[in-house]
Amino acid sequence: MSITPISAIPSIASLTGVQGTQPTGATGATGFANAMSGAVDNLQQLQSTSDTLAIQAVTGSLDDIHTATIAASRAEVTLELAAAVRNKGVDAFNEIMRMQA
């Protein structure tokens, strides 16, 4: 039985527009939007994989139940991370709206 390693979250420096320079204008916004879009796509893929493996586990066609458990855990942790990022974004927006001009 071989154990496949869990891939790490890429470093923040690998994201577009975040390599130590201040983004200017629409380029920074586009880079952030692309990073968020990629993260959501990754989340959807992880959840789809988790669902597929869960169905295989229930029907008995999955040889290794650990694979389904790991996939479900990865999807859960990624969803929690996405929710935390969303909450921080909403908090930042609300703080900006409370600032006086």
Tokens of 26: 């629409």
Tokens of 67: 């694979």
Distant-in-sequence, close-in-space partners of 16: CB < 8 Å, separation ≥ 6:
30, 31, 34, 35
Q: Tell me what pLDDT residue 72 has.
A: 95
pTM over the 0.75 mark: no
Q: Using an 8 Å Cβ cutoff, are 48 and 71 in contact? A: no
Distant-in-sequence, close-in-space partners of 42: CB < 8 Å, separation ≥ 6:
78
3-state secondary structure of 26: helix
Q: Indicate whether 7 pLDDT > 60.
A: yes
Interval 23-50: pLDDT, tens:
555 567 788 889 889 999 999 999 999 9
Which one is predicted more confidently, 3 or 22?
Answer: 3
Q: Using an 8 Å Cβ cutoff, are 49 and 71 in contact? A: yes
- Per the prediction, the chain carries an average pLDDT of 82
DSSP string, 35-85: HHHHHHHHHHHHHHHHHHHHHHHHHT--S-HHHHHHHHHHHHHHHHHHHHH
